[in-house]
């Protein structure tokens, strides 16, 4: 990662939530929530909660007897999440997933949606998740598959790279889509003591009313924006339009429908 890969500030949290939420995150949030649908009591720790997309899916699918502690290292994202979510059984806390401030054996489930790719020390974060789980507790998280299997992200990355050929902004390929080797991920999770470690590859469709929504979401609602603006702050709008043009050339102007693909990892304490 670069130092800008974890900066979700300014207007990024709102665009991330409003545009990318329905486009790519909500289908996988619903998948995670469905996998926990049998839980009727206990406590869930959510790490890297971001703008609260999974949190809201859990609220919809689980009874209020299941307490949720939703955490993230990025305060602007937590602020966005808290502002969008009203539930008495949810608490919000700024937390580093690699150094959880909770006692051992505190939670029944630890869940993380598309967050582990941002952890500098992933095995430390896995070990922390295991430490705070009760015996028999579940750890469930997802990661994006390679960028070639996520068509809108791939097209936007190619478009922006063409604009800056000497120093292409590669945030999407490098970080969100840079941790997709299932065998390596499973080995890392097993290495800290988890049992029954498994992975499912889940394919969905990303649907938008026009070609501009995916381009806006990726170029303006992720740290790709930081990379573009670091190279030339005056070219953010042009980069967005370049991304839209590539999506239009491949999928039409709209509605557009592209493949998204991720791996869901499950493990037991």
Q: Which pTM does this prediction carry?
A: 0.95
Copy the structure tokens of residue 109. 């489930």
Which residue in 114, 218, 231, 216 sits closest to 171, CA to CA? 218
Residue 162 CA to residue 229 CA, distance in Å, equals 15
Q: Over 80: is that where the pLDDT of 1 sits?
A: no
2: confidence class by pLDDT, cuts 50, 70, 90: confident
Domains in the chain, please, with CATH? 12-268 (3.40.50.150)
The pLDDT value recorded for residue 9 is 85
User: Looking at residues 99-124, what average pLDDT do you find?
Assistant: 98
pLDDT at residue number 4: 80
As a whole number of angstroms, the distance between CA 67 and CA 89 comes to 5
pLDDT at 114 over 80: yes
Give percent of the chain above pLDDT 70: 100
- Residue 50: pLDDT band with limits 50, 70, 90: very high
Q: Per-residue pLDDT averaged across 16-32, rounded?
A: 97
Predicted pLDDT of residue 3: 75
- Tens digits of per-residue pLDDT, 115-153? 999 999 999 999 999 999 999 999 999 999 999 999 999
Q: Specify whether the CB–CB gap between 205 and 257 falls below 8 A.
A: yes
Instruction: Show the tokens assigned to 206.
Output: 């990303």
Alpha-carbon distance of 138 to 155, in angstroms, equals 36
Over range 142-166, report the average pLDDT: 98
**Average pLDDT over the chain, rounded to whole?**
96
Q: What is the pLDDT of residue 8?
A: 87
DSSP for the chain, please give it.
Answer: --TTTT---TTHHHHIIIIIIIIIIHHHHHHHHHHTTT--SEEEEEES-TTSHHHHHHHHHS-TTEEEEEEES-HHHHHHHHHH---TTEEEEE--TTS--S-TT-EEEEEEES-GGG-SSHHHHHHHHHHHEEEEEEEEEEEE--GGGSHHHHHHHHHHHHHSTTS---HHHHTTTS---HHHHHHHHHHTT-EEEEEEEEEEEEEESSTHHHHHHHHHSSTHHHHHHHH-GGGHHHHHHHHHHHHHHHH-SSSEEEEEEEEEEEEE-
Q: Residue 190 corresponds to which tokens in the numbers above? A: 């097993």
């Amino acid at each position: 990662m670069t130092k800008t890969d974890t900066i979700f500030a300014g207007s990024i949290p709102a665009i991330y939530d409003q545009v990318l939420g329905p486009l790519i995150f909500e289908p996988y949030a619903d998948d995670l929530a469905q996998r926990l649908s049998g839980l009727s009591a206990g406590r869930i720790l959510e790490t890297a909660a971001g703008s609260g997309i999974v949190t809201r899916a859990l609220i919809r699918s689980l009874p209020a007897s299941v307490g949720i502690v939703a955490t993230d290292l990025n305060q602007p994202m937590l602020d966005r999440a808290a502002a969008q979510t009203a539930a008495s059984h949810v608490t919000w806390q700024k937390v580093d997933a690699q150094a959880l401030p909770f006692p051992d054996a505190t939670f029944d489930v630890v869940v993380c949606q598309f967050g582990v790719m941002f952890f500098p020390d992933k095995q430390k974060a896995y070990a922390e998740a295991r430490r705070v789980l009760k015996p028999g507790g579940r750890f469930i998280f997802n990661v994006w598959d390679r960028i070639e299997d996520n068509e809108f992200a791939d097209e936007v990355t190619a478009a922006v790279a063409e604009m800056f050929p000497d120093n292409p902004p590669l945030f999407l390929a490098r970080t969100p889509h840079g941790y997709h080797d299932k065998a390596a991920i499973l080995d890392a999770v097993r290495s800290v003591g988890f049992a029954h470690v498994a992975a499912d590859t889940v394919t969905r469709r990303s649907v938008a009313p026009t070609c501009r929504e995916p381009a806006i979401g990726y170029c303006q609602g992720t740290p790709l924006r930081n990379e573009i603006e670091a190279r030339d702050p005056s070219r953010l709008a042009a980069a967005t339009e370049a991304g839209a043009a590539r999506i239009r050339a491949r999928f039409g102007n709209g509605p557009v429908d592209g493949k998204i693909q991720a791996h869901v990892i499950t493990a037991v304490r």
